[in-house]
Protein backbone atom coordinates (compact mmCIF):
# COMPACT_ATOMS: atom_id res chain seq x y z
CA UNK A 1 0.00 0.00 0.00
CA UNK A 2 2.84 2.38 0.87
CA UNK A 3 4.62 1.60 -2.36
CA UNK A 4 1.49 2.44 -4.40
CA UNK A 5 1.13 5.71 -2.56
CA UNK A 6 4.77 6.60 -3.20
CA UNK A 7 4.37 5.74 -6.90
CA UNK A 8 1.34 8.00 -7.23
CA UNK A 9 3.19 10.81 -5.48
CA UNK A 10 6.12 10.38 -7.85
CA UNK A 11 3.85 10.54 -10.92
CA UNK A 12 2.15 13.68 -9.61
CA UNK A 13 5.53 15.30 -8.91
CA UNK A 14 6.74 14.49 -12.45
CA UNK A 15 3.54 15.92 -14.01
CA UNK A 16 3.85 19.10 -11.98
CA UNK A 17 7.49 19.43 -13.04
CA UNK A 18 6.66 19.00 -16.70
CA UNK A 19 3.81 21.54 -16.39
CA UNK A 20 6.19 23.96 -14.72
CA UNK A 21 8.68 23.62 -17.57
CA UNK A 22 5.88 24.02 -20.17
CA UNK A 23 4.71 27.26 -18.56
CA UNK A 24 8.24 28.72 -18.59
CA UNK A 25 9.64 28.46 -22.14
CA UNK A 26 13.33 29.16 -22.78
CA UNK A 27 16.39 28.07 -24.73
CA UNK A 28 19.51 26.14 -23.85
CA UNK A 29 22.79 26.66 -25.82
CA UNK A 30 25.65 24.18 -25.57
CA UNK A 31 29.05 24.66 -27.28
CA UNK A 32 31.52 21.78 -27.03
CA UNK A 33 34.38 20.67 -29.34
CA UNK A 34 33.35 23.12 -32.07
CA UNK A 35 29.73 22.07 -31.99
CA UNK A 36 26.87 24.29 -30.95
CA UNK A 37 23.54 22.91 -29.87
CA UNK A 38 20.53 25.09 -29.18
CA UNK A 39 17.28 23.69 -27.86
CA UNK A 40 14.43 24.52 -25.53
CA UNK A 41 14.75 24.20 -21.78
CA UNK A 42 12.17 21.40 -21.70
CA UNK A 43 14.06 19.29 -24.24
CA UNK A 44 17.34 20.04 -22.46
CA UNK A 45 15.94 18.74 -19.19
CA UNK A 46 14.72 15.56 -20.88
CA UNK A 47 18.15 15.06 -22.45
CA UNK A 48 19.89 15.38 -19.06
CA UNK A 49 17.46 12.86 -17.52
CA UNK A 50 18.07 10.42 -20.39
CA UNK A 51 21.86 10.67 -19.90
CA UNK A 52 21.52 9.99 -16.16
CA UNK A 53 19.34 6.93 -16.77
CA UNK A 54 21.81 5.64 -19.35
CA UNK A 55 24.71 6.00 -16.96
CA UNK A 56 22.77 4.13 -14.25
CA UNK A 57 22.03 1.29 -16.66
CA UNK A 58 25.68 1.02 -17.66
CA UNK A 59 26.73 0.92 -13.97
CA UNK A 60 24.20 -1.81 -13.21
CA UNK A 61 25.39 -3.97 -16.10
CA UNK A 62 29.03 -3.61 -15.12
CA UNK A 63 28.26 -4.40 -11.48
CA UNK A 64 26.30 -7.50 -12.47
CA UNK A 65 29.16 -8.78 -14.64
CA UNK A 66 31.78 -8.14 -11.94
CA UNK A 67 29.84 -9.88 -9.12
CA UNK A 68 28.78 -13.01 -11.01
CA UNK A 69 31.75 -15.26 -9.97
CA UNK A 70 31.22 -14.57 -6.28
CA UNK A 71 27.49 -15.12 -6.62
CA UNK A 72 28.06 -18.40 -8.42
CA UNK A 73 30.49 -19.52 -5.69
CA UNK A 74 28.00 -18.56 -2.96
CA UNK A 75 25.27 -20.49 -4.72
CA UNK A 76 27.53 -23.53 -4.96
CA UNK A 77 28.36 -23.30 -1.26
CA UNK A 78 24.72 -23.01 -0.29
CA UNK A 79 23.80 -25.95 -2.48
CA UNK A 80 26.61 -28.04 -1.02
CA UNK A 81 25.51 -27.05 2.49
CA UNK A 82 21.96 -28.07 1.75
CA UNK A 83 23.19 -31.40 0.40
CA UNK A 84 25.24 -31.90 3.56
CA UNK A 85 22.30 -31.28 5.88
CA UNK A 86 20.16 -33.58 3.78
CA UNK A 87 22.86 -36.26 4.03
CA UNK A 88 23.02 -35.78 7.82
CA UNK A 89 19.27 -36.20 8.13
CA UNK A 90 19.17 -39.30 5.94
CA UNK A 91 22.30 -40.75 7.58
CA UNK A 92 20.87 -40.44 11.08
CA UNK A 93 17.68 -42.10 9.88
CA UNK A 94 19.79 -44.92 8.42
CA UNK A 95 21.56 -45.29 11.77
CA UNK A 96 18.20 -45.52 13.47
CA UNK A 97 16.97 -48.34 11.25
CA UNK A 98 20.36 -50.10 11.25
CA UNK A 99 21.14 -49.70 7.51
CA UNK A 100 24.94 -49.92 7.63
CA UNK A 101 25.64 -49.33 3.91
CA UNK A 102 23.33 -46.36 3.64
CA UNK A 103 24.73 -44.84 6.82
CA UNK A 104 28.29 -45.13 5.46
CA UNK A 105 27.21 -43.55 2.15
CA UNK A 106 25.56 -40.54 3.73
CA UNK A 107 28.40 -40.16 6.24
CA UNK A 108 30.81 -39.75 3.29
CA UNK A 109 28.57 -37.15 1.62
CA UNK A 110 28.23 -35.23 4.89
CA UNK A 111 32.01 -35.33 5.45
CA UNK A 112 32.60 -33.78 2.00
CA UNK A 113 29.82 -31.22 2.26
CA UNK A 114 30.05 -30.23 5.94
CA UNK A 115 33.52 -31.17 7.20
CA UNK A 116 33.36 -28.85 10.23
CA UNK A 117 29.80 -29.61 11.31
CA UNK A 118 29.69 -31.40 14.74
CA UNK A 119 26.86 -33.65 13.58
CA UNK A 120 29.08 -34.88 10.74
CA UNK A 121 31.63 -36.23 13.18
CA UNK A 122 28.85 -37.87 15.19
CA UNK A 123 27.38 -39.49 12.06
CA UNK A 124 30.79 -40.82 11.01
CA UNK A 125 31.41 -42.27 14.46
CA UNK A 126 28.01 -43.92 14.69
CA UNK A 127 28.30 -45.30 11.17
CA UNK A 128 31.66 -46.84 12.11
CA UNK A 129 30.12 -48.34 15.25
CA UNK A 130 27.26 -49.78 13.22
CA UNK A 131 29.79 -51.29 10.83
CA UNK A 132 31.76 -52.76 13.72
CA UNK A 133 34.91 -50.78 12.95
CA UNK A 134 35.89 -49.76 16.48
CA UNK A 135 39.18 -48.28 15.32
CA UNK A 136 37.44 -45.87 12.97
CA UNK A 137 34.90 -45.01 15.63
CA UNK A 138 37.64 -44.30 18.14
CA UNK A 139 39.48 -42.07 15.66
CA UNK A 140 36.25 -40.18 14.95
CA UNK A 141 35.67 -39.56 18.64
CA UNK A 142 39.28 -38.55 19.17
CA UNK A 143 38.90 -35.99 16.35
CA UNK A 144 36.01 -34.46 18.28
CA UNK A 145 38.36 -33.59 21.14
CA UNK A 146 40.02 -30.91 18.98
CA UNK A 147 36.88 -28.76 18.81
CA UNK A 148 35.50 -27.14 21.96
CA UNK A 149 31.87 -27.70 21.00
CA UNK A 150 32.41 -31.47 20.50
CA UNK A 151 34.88 -32.25 23.28
CA UNK A 152 32.36 -33.73 25.69
CA UNK A 153 30.72 -35.66 22.87
CA UNK A 154 34.11 -37.18 22.05
CA UNK A 155 34.75 -38.03 25.70
CA UNK A 156 31.41 -39.82 25.98
CA UNK A 157 32.01 -41.73 22.76
CA UNK A 158 35.47 -42.85 23.88
CA UNK A 159 34.01 -43.83 27.26
CA UNK A 160 31.41 -46.06 25.64
CA UNK A 161 34.07 -47.63 23.42
CA UNK A 162 36.25 -48.31 26.45
CA UNK A 163 33.34 -49.96 28.25
CA UNK A 164 32.63 -52.15 25.21
CA UNK A 165 36.29 -53.17 25.16
CA UNK A 166 36.26 -53.89 28.94
CA UNK A 167 39.01 -51.30 29.42
CA UNK A 168 37.86 -50.22 32.87
CA UNK A 169 40.93 -48.13 33.57
CA UNK A 170 40.44 -45.99 30.45
CA UNK A 171 36.69 -45.78 31.06
CA UNK A 172 37.23 -44.53 34.59
CA UNK A 173 39.76 -41.92 33.42
CA UNK A 174 37.30 -40.67 30.79
CA UNK A 175 34.46 -40.53 33.33
CA UNK A 176 36.69 -38.50 35.68
CA UNK A 177 37.49 -36.15 32.79
CA UNK A 178 33.79 -35.71 32.02
CA UNK A 179 32.98 -34.95 35.67
CA UNK A 180 35.84 -32.46 35.86
CA UNK A 181 34.72 -30.62 32.71
CA UNK A 182 31.01 -30.57 33.43
CA UNK A 183 29.68 -32.09 36.70
CA UNK A 184 26.14 -31.34 35.55
CA UNK A 185 26.33 -34.26 33.10
CA UNK A 186 24.53 -37.11 34.81
CA UNK A 187 26.09 -39.92 32.78
CA UNK A 188 29.63 -39.01 33.82
CA UNK A 189 28.85 -38.66 37.51
CA UNK A 190 26.78 -41.86 37.67
CA UNK A 191 29.32 -43.88 35.70
CA UNK A 192 32.21 -42.71 37.85
CA UNK A 193 30.27 -43.48 41.04
CA UNK A 194 29.45 -47.01 39.89
CA UNK A 195 33.03 -47.76 38.87
CA UNK A 196 34.48 -46.38 42.11
CA UNK A 197 32.03 -48.41 44.19
CA UNK A 198 32.68 -51.57 42.16
CA UNK A 199 36.45 -51.10 42.65
CA UNK A 200 36.07 -50.62 46.41
CA UNK A 201 37.16 -46.97 46.32
CA UNK A 202 34.73 -45.92 49.04
CA UNK A 203 36.24 -42.48 49.67
CA UNK A 204 36.19 -41.62 45.96
CA UNK A 205 32.62 -42.89 45.67
CA UNK A 206 31.57 -40.72 48.61
CA UNK A 207 33.04 -37.62 46.94
CA UNK A 208 31.33 -38.45 43.66
CA UNK A 209 28.05 -39.05 45.50
CA UNK A 210 28.36 -35.55 47.01
CA UNK A 211 28.80 -34.12 43.49
CA UNK A 212 25.76 -36.06 42.27
CA UNK A 213 23.62 -34.78 45.11
CA UNK A 214 24.82 -31.20 44.66
CA UNK A 215 23.89 -31.25 40.97
CA UNK A 216 20.55 -33.00 41.42
CA UNK A 217 21.49 -36.35 39.88
CA UNK A 218 20.12 -38.30 42.85
CA UNK A 219 17.26 -37.73 45.27
CA UNK A 220 18.22 -36.74 48.84
CA UNK A 221 16.72 -39.88 50.36
CA UNK A 222 18.51 -42.18 47.94
CA UNK A 223 21.73 -40.21 48.44
CA UNK A 224 21.56 -40.71 52.21
CA UNK A 225 20.98 -44.43 51.79
CA UNK A 226 23.89 -44.78 49.37
CA UNK A 227 26.15 -42.80 51.64
CA UNK A 228 25.21 -45.06 54.55
CA UNK A 229 26.04 -48.15 52.49
CA UNK A 230 29.43 -46.74 51.47
CA UNK A 231 30.25 -45.75 55.06
CA UNK A 232 29.35 -49.27 56.20
CA UNK A 233 31.60 -50.80 53.56
CA UNK A 234 34.45 -48.53 54.64
CA UNK A 235 33.82 -49.41 58.29
CA UNK A 236 33.93 -53.12 57.50
CA UNK A 237 37.33 -52.72 55.82
CA UNK A 238 38.68 -50.60 58.68
CA UNK A 239 37.35 -52.72 61.54
CA UNK A 240 40.46 -54.87 61.94
CA UNK A 241 43.05 -52.10 61.69
CA UNK A 242 41.13 -49.13 63.13
CA UNK A 243 38.13 -50.08 65.28
CA UNK A 244 37.58 -46.50 66.46
CA UNK A 245 37.38 -45.24 62.88
CA UNK A 246 35.10 -48.16 61.95
CA UNK A 247 32.82 -47.36 64.90
CA UNK A 248 32.54 -43.70 63.84
CA UNK A 249 31.76 -44.68 60.23
CA UNK A 250 29.18 -47.29 61.25
CA UNK A 251 27.52 -44.85 63.67
CA UNK A 252 27.19 -42.21 60.96
CA UNK A 253 25.78 -44.86 58.60
CA UNK A 254 23.14 -45.78 61.20
CA UNK A 255 22.23 -42.12 61.60
CA UNK A 256 21.53 -41.94 57.86
CA UNK A 257 19.89 -45.39 57.55
CA UNK A 258 18.72 -46.77 60.93
CA UNK A 259 17.57 -50.06 59.37
CA UNK A 260 20.96 -50.93 57.85
CA UNK A 261 21.77 -54.27 59.50
CA UNK A 262 25.51 -54.51 58.65
CA UNK A 263 26.21 -51.07 60.14
CA UNK A 264 24.44 -52.01 63.38
CA UNK A 265 26.27 -55.32 63.49
CA UNK A 266 29.70 -53.67 63.12
CA UNK A 267 28.97 -50.91 65.61
CA UNK A 268 27.48 -53.33 68.16
CA UNK A 269 30.37 -55.75 67.85
CA UNK A 270 32.98 -53.01 68.35
CA UNK A 271 31.13 -51.52 71.31
CA UNK A 272 30.83 -54.97 72.91
CA UNK A 273 34.55 -55.60 72.48
CA UNK A 274 35.22 -52.30 74.29
CA UNK A 275 33.05 -53.35 77.22
CA UNK A 276 30.21 -50.93 76.40
CA UNK A 277 27.58 -53.66 76.44
CA UNK A 278 24.65 -51.41 77.36
CA UNK A 279 25.28 -49.03 74.49
CA UNK A 280 25.81 -51.95 72.11
CA UNK A 281 22.52 -53.52 73.20
CA UNK A 282 20.57 -50.30 72.71
CA UNK A 283 22.06 -49.76 69.27
CA UNK A 284 21.35 -53.32 68.10
CA UNK A 285 17.82 -53.32 69.51
CA UNK A 286 16.92 -50.13 67.62
CA UNK A 287 17.92 -51.69 64.32
CA UNK A 288 16.31 -55.02 65.25
CA UNK A 289 12.92 -53.31 65.57
CA UNK A 290 13.23 -52.16 61.96
CA UNK A 291 15.03 -55.17 60.40
CA UNK A 292 15.24 -58.38 62.47
CA UNK A 293 18.30 -60.36 61.44
CA UNK A 294 20.21 -63.34 62.91
CA UNK A 295 23.49 -61.40 62.90
CA UNK A 296 21.92 -58.77 65.15
CA UNK A 297 20.61 -61.46 67.48
CA UNK A 298 24.09 -62.97 67.71
CA UNK A 299 25.72 -59.63 68.53
CA UNK A 300 23.02 -58.84 71.09
CA UNK A 301 23.35 -62.25 72.75
CA UNK A 302 27.12 -61.88 73.23
CA UNK A 303 27.14 -58.15 74.03
CA UNK A 304 28.14 -59.04 77.61
CA UNK A 305 31.29 -61.21 77.50
CA UNK A 306 31.41 -64.16 79.87
CA UNK A 307 27.66 -64.25 80.43
CA UNK A 308 26.09 -67.64 81.19
CA UNK A 309 23.97 -69.39 78.59
CA UNK A 310 20.81 -68.95 80.71
CA UNK A 311 21.40 -65.21 80.92
CA UNK A 312 21.96 -65.02 77.19
CA UNK A 313 18.64 -66.77 76.67
CA UNK A 314 16.89 -64.09 78.73
CA UNK A 315 18.57 -61.36 76.71
CA UNK A 316 17.56 -62.96 73.40
CA UNK A 317 13.95 -63.38 74.57
CA UNK A 318 13.82 -59.68 75.38
CA UNK A 319 15.21 -58.83 71.93
CA UNK A 320 12.68 -61.12 70.20
CA UNK A 321 9.82 -59.39 72.05
CA UNK A 322 10.76 -56.11 70.34
CA UNK A 323 9.71 -57.60 66.99
CA UNK A 324 7.06 -60.06 68.06
CA UNK A 325 5.84 -62.39 65.35
CA UNK A 326 8.97 -62.30 63.23
CA UNK A 327 10.52 -65.71 62.59
CA UNK A 328 14.05 -64.44 63.26
CA UNK A 329 13.14 -63.80 66.88
CA UNK A 330 11.84 -67.35 67.36
CA UNK A 331 14.92 -68.84 65.70
CA UNK A 332 17.19 -66.72 67.90
CA UNK A 333 15.34 -67.93 71.01
CA UNK A 334 15.64 -71.54 69.83
CA UNK A 335 19.39 -71.18 69.28
CA UNK A 336 19.93 -69.60 72.69
CA UNK A 337 17.71 -72.20 74.37
CA UNK A 338 19.65 -75.06 72.75
CA UNK A 339 22.90 -73.54 74.02
CA UNK A 340 21.36 -73.33 77.49
CA UNK A 341 20.00 -76.92 77.16
CA UNK A 342 16.48 -75.61 77.73
CA UNK A 343 14.93 -78.02 75.24
CA UNK A 344 11.31 -77.25 76.05
CA UNK A 345 11.88 -73.52 75.49
CA UNK A 346 13.50 -74.33 72.14
CA UNK A 347 10.55 -76.52 71.12
CA UNK A 348 8.05 -73.84 72.15
CA UNK A 349 9.89 -71.25 70.07
CA UNK A 350 9.80 -73.42 66.94
CA UNK A 351 6.32 -74.87 67.44
CA UNK A 352 4.45 -72.25 65.30
CA UNK A 353 6.60 -73.13 62.29
CA UNK A 354 6.51 -76.94 62.33
CA UNK A 355 3.27 -77.33 60.40
CA UNK A 356 3.40 -77.81 56.64
CA UNK A 357 6.90 -77.50 55.19
CA UNK A 358 9.21 -75.81 57.72
CA UNK A 359 12.31 -74.09 56.41
CA UNK A 360 15.76 -75.65 56.43
CA UNK A 361 16.93 -73.79 59.54
CA UNK A 362 13.86 -74.93 61.47
CA UNK A 363 14.54 -78.54 60.46
CA UNK A 364 18.20 -78.36 61.46
CA UNK A 365 17.32 -76.83 64.82
CA UNK A 366 14.76 -79.59 65.43
CA UNK A 367 17.43 -82.15 64.59
CA UNK A 368 19.69 -80.62 67.21
CA UNK A 369 16.87 -80.67 69.75
CA UNK A 370 16.03 -84.33 69.10
CA UNK A 371 19.66 -85.35 69.29
CA UNK A 372 20.51 -83.20 72.28
CA UNK A 373 17.50 -83.76 74.50
CA UNK A 374 16.63 -87.39 73.97
CA UNK A 375 19.52 -88.71 71.90
CA UNK A 376 16.94 -90.01 69.41
CA UNK A 377 19.12 -90.60 66.36
CA UNK A 378 16.20 -91.75 64.25
CA UNK A 379 14.23 -88.56 64.80
CA UNK A 380 17.39 -86.52 64.34
CA UNK A 381 18.10 -88.15 60.98
CA UNK A 382 14.47 -87.69 59.96
CA UNK A 383 14.69 -83.94 60.55
CA UNK A 384 17.98 -83.82 58.69
CA UNK A 385 16.35 -85.57 55.75
CA UNK A 386 13.50 -83.08 55.78
CA UNK A 387 16.04 -80.26 55.76
CA UNK A 388 17.38 -81.55 52.44
CA UNK A 389 14.24 -80.54 50.54
CA UNK A 390 12.93 -77.86 52.85
CA UNK A 391 12.36 -74.35 51.47
CA UNK A 392 15.48 -72.29 51.65
CA UNK A 393 15.71 -69.62 54.30
CA UNK A 394 16.24 -65.94 53.80
CA UNK A 395 19.70 -64.85 52.70
CA UNK A 396 21.50 -61.86 51.19
CA UNK A 397 20.39 -61.82 47.54
CA UNK A 398 21.07 -59.35 44.74
CA UNK A 399 20.33 -59.82 41.02
CA UNK A 400 19.90 -63.57 41.49
CA UNK A 401 23.21 -63.89 43.36
CA UNK A 402 23.14 -65.33 46.88
CA UNK A 403 25.92 -64.37 49.26
CA UNK A 404 26.85 -65.73 52.68
CA UNK A 405 27.34 -62.15 53.89
CA UNK A 406 26.18 -58.66 53.06
CA UNK A 407 28.03 -56.89 50.26
CA UNK A 408 27.79 -53.18 49.44
CA UNK A 409 27.89 -53.76 45.67
CA UNK A 410 26.22 -56.40 43.51
CA UNK A 411 28.87 -58.60 41.84
CA UNK A 412 26.50 -59.09 38.90
CA UNK A 413 25.53 -55.54 37.93
CA UNK A 414 27.78 -53.43 40.14
CA UNK A 415 24.76 -51.64 41.64
CA UNK A 416 25.18 -50.14 45.11
CA UNK A 417 22.86 -51.32 47.90
CA UNK A 418 21.45 -54.15 45.79
CA UNK A 419 21.51 -56.92 48.43
CA UNK A 420 18.31 -57.68 50.29
CA UNK A 421 17.62 -60.08 53.14
CA UNK A 422 14.90 -62.28 51.67
CA UNK A 423 14.06 -65.80 50.62
CA UNK A 424 15.31 -66.93 47.19
CA UNK A 425 12.65 -66.51 44.52
CA UNK A 426 13.14 -70.01 43.16
CA UNK A 427 12.45 -71.48 46.60
CA UNK A 428 9.10 -69.78 47.20
CA UNK A 429 6.23 -72.22 46.83
CA UNK A 430 8.44 -75.00 45.46
CA UNK A 431 9.03 -78.46 46.75
CA UNK A 432 11.94 -79.56 44.56
CA UNK A 433 15.28 -80.66 45.90
CA UNK A 434 17.55 -77.85 46.98
CA UNK A 435 21.12 -77.61 48.10
CA UNK A 436 21.82 -76.21 51.51
CA UNK A 437 24.90 -74.75 53.09
CA UNK A 438 25.54 -74.23 56.74
CA UNK A 439 28.58 -72.04 57.10
CA UNK A 440 30.72 -72.45 60.19
CA UNK A 441 33.73 -70.42 61.33
CA UNK A 442 36.22 -73.10 60.24
CA UNK A 443 34.51 -75.38 57.73
CA UNK A 444 31.51 -75.61 55.41
CA UNK A 445 29.14 -78.58 55.51
CA UNK A 446 27.36 -79.07 52.22
CA UNK A 447 24.25 -81.26 52.13
CA UNK A 448 23.00 -82.55 48.79
CA UNK A 449 19.43 -83.69 48.22
CA UNK A 450 19.11 -87.40 47.33
CA UNK A 451 16.86 -88.69 44.61
CA UNK A 452 13.92 -89.61 46.86
CA UNK A 453 10.18 -89.63 46.43
CA UNK A 454 8.02 -86.74 45.32
CA UNK A 455 8.45 -83.57 47.39
CA UNK A 456 4.81 -83.67 48.40
CA UNK A 457 5.13 -87.10 50.04
CA UNK A 458 6.55 -87.58 53.49
CA UNK A 459 10.33 -87.71 53.39
CA UNK A 460 11.82 -91.02 54.59
CA UNK A 461 14.90 -90.99 56.81
CA UNK A 462 18.34 -91.30 55.30
CA UNK A 463 19.34 -94.88 54.65
CA UNK A 464 22.85 -94.54 53.46
CA UNK A 465 25.99 -92.43 53.71
CA UNK A 466 25.66 -91.68 50.01
CA UNK A 467 22.75 -89.35 50.81
CA UNK A 468 25.16 -86.81 52.25
CA UNK A 469 28.17 -85.15 50.68
CA UNK A 470 30.74 -83.16 52.65
CA UNK A 471 33.03 -80.79 50.78
CA UNK A 472 36.20 -79.43 52.38
CA UNK A 473 39.03 -80.70 54.52
CA UNK A 474 38.51 -84.17 55.95
CA UNK A 475 38.83 -83.13 59.57
CA UNK A 476 37.65 -84.80 62.72
CA UNK A 477 37.66 -88.27 64.10
CA UNK A 478 35.57 -89.75 61.28
CA UNK A 479 37.85 -88.54 58.48
CA UNK A 480 39.24 -91.94 57.51
CA UNK A 481 35.85 -93.60 57.70
CA UNK A 482 34.40 -90.98 55.40
CA UNK A 483 37.22 -91.52 52.89
CA UNK A 484 36.36 -95.19 52.82
CA UNK A 485 32.67 -94.48 52.24
CA UNK A 486 33.45 -91.92 49.53
CA UNK A 487 34.16 -94.62 46.96
CA UNK A 488 31.32 -96.89 48.00
CA UNK A 489 29.51 -96.88 44.67
CA UNK A 490 29.39 -95.10 41.32
CA UNK A 491 25.90 -93.85 42.11
CA UNK A 492 27.14 -92.04 45.21
CA UNK A 493 29.94 -90.40 43.21
CA UNK A 494 27.39 -89.19 40.67
CA UNK A 495 25.26 -87.74 43.48
CA UNK A 496 28.24 -85.86 44.88
CA UNK A 497 29.18 -84.44 41.46
CA UNK A 498 25.63 -83.29 40.82
CA UNK A 499 25.42 -81.74 44.27
CA UNK A 500 28.60 -79.72 43.74
CA UNK A 501 27.27 -78.37 40.45
CA UNK A 502 23.94 -77.37 42.03
CA UNK A 503 25.49 -75.57 44.98
CA UNK A 504 23.23 -72.70 46.05
CA UNK A 505 23.67 -71.07 49.45
CA UNK A 506 20.57 -71.09 51.56
CA UNK A 507 21.39 -71.14 55.27
CA UNK A 508 24.08 -68.95 56.71
CA UNK A 509 25.12 -69.03 60.35
CA UNK A 510 27.28 -65.93 60.98
CA UNK A 511 30.55 -66.28 62.82
CA UNK A 512 30.84 -64.85 66.29
CA UNK A 513 32.87 -61.77 67.04
CA UNK A 514 36.52 -62.88 67.40
CA UNK A 515 37.11 -60.31 70.11
CA UNK A 516 34.48 -61.72 72.46
CA UNK A 517 36.30 -63.56 75.25
CA UNK A 518 33.11 -65.19 76.42
CA UNK A 519 32.51 -67.19 73.27
CA UNK A 520 34.89 -69.99 74.04
CA UNK A 521 33.53 -70.50 77.54
CA UNK A 522 30.06 -71.77 76.62
CA UNK A 523 28.96 -74.34 74.05
CA UNK A 524 26.71 -72.87 71.35
CA UNK A 525 25.19 -73.97 68.06
CA UNK A 526 28.51 -73.06 66.43
CA UNK A 527 30.67 -74.96 68.92
CA UNK A 528 32.75 -77.95 67.72
CA UNK A 529 30.66 -80.29 69.87
CA UNK A 530 27.41 -79.34 68.15
CA UNK A 531 28.98 -79.51 64.72
CA UNK A 532 30.55 -82.89 65.33
CA UNK A 533 27.24 -84.24 66.61
CA UNK A 534 25.41 -83.03 63.51
CA UNK A 535 28.15 -84.35 61.26
CA UNK A 536 28.22 -87.74 62.95
CA UNK A 537 24.46 -88.05 62.58
CA UNK A 538 24.67 -87.20 58.89
CA UNK A 539 27.37 -89.68 57.91
CA UNK A 540 26.02 -92.47 60.05
Backbone φ, ψ for residue 436 (5° rounding) = -115, 150
**Which of the 8 DSSP states describes residue 425?**
G
Q: E-strand spans in 76-150?
A: none
Q: Is the pLDDT of residue 434 over 70?
A: no
Kindly report, residue by residue over 263-288, the tens digit of the pLDDT: 999 999 999 999 899 999 999 999 99
- Tens of pLDDT, residue by residue over 484-508, are 333 333 333 333 333 333 333 333 3
Q: Matching CATH topology for 78-214 and 219-342?
A: yes
Cβ neighbours, 10 Å, residue 36: 8
List the one residue out of 268, 292, 234 whose CA is nearest residue 421.
292
pLDDT in tens, 186-238: 999 999 999 999 999 999 999 999 999 999 999 999 999 999 999 999 999 99
Quick one: pLDDT at residue 286? 94
**d(C-alpha 302, C-alpha 304), whole Å:** 5
Max mean pLDDT range (47-51, 76-80, 415-419, 434-438)? 415-419
When pLDDT is averaged across residues 159-178 and rounded to a whole number, the result is: 91
What's the whole-model pTM score? 0.65
Class of CATH domain 78-214: mainly alpha
Contacts of 222-229 with CB under 8 Å at 24 or more apart are: 224/256, 224/257, 225/256, 225/257, 225/417, 226/416, 226/417, 227/253, 227/256, 228/252, 228/253, 228/254, 228/256, 228/257, 228/260, 228/263, 229/253, 229/257, 229/260, 229/408, 229/416, 229/417
Residue 478 or residue 118, greater confidence: 118
User: ∠ CA 147-153-155 to the nearest 5 degrees?
Assistant: 95
Give the percent of the chain with pLDDT over 90: 41
* pLDDT, position 145: 87
The hierarchical CATH code for the domain 219-342 is: 1.25.40.10
Cα separation, 510 vs 152, whole angstroms: 48
Q: Which residues contact 43 (CB under 8 A, 6 or more apart)?
A: 28
> Could you give phi then psi for residue 162, rounded to 5 degrees?
-65, -40
Domain ranges of the chain: 78-214, 219-342, 354-391+429-540
Q: How many CA atoms lie within 13 A of 453 on its CB side?
A: 9
Digit-coded pLDDT (tens) for 27-36: 778 787 878 8
* Contact (Cβ atoms closer than 8 angstroms) between residue 106 and residue 123: yes
| pLDDT above 80: residue 435 | no
Amino acid sequence: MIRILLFILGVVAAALGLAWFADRPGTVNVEWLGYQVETSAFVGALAVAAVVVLLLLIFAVLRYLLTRPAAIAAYARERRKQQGYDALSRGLLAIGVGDRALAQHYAGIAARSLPREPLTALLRAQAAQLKGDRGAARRAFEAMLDQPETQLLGVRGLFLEARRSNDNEAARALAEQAVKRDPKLGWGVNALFDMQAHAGDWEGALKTLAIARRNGHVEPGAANRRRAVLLTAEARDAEASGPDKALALASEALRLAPSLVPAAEIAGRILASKGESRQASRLVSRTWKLSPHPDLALVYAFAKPGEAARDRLKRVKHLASLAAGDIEGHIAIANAAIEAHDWQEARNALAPYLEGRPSARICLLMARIEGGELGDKGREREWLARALRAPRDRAWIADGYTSDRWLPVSPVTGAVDAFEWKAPVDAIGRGDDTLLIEERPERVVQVAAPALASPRTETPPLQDAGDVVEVGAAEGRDGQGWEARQSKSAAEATTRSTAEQRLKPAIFVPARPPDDPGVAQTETDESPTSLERLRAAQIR
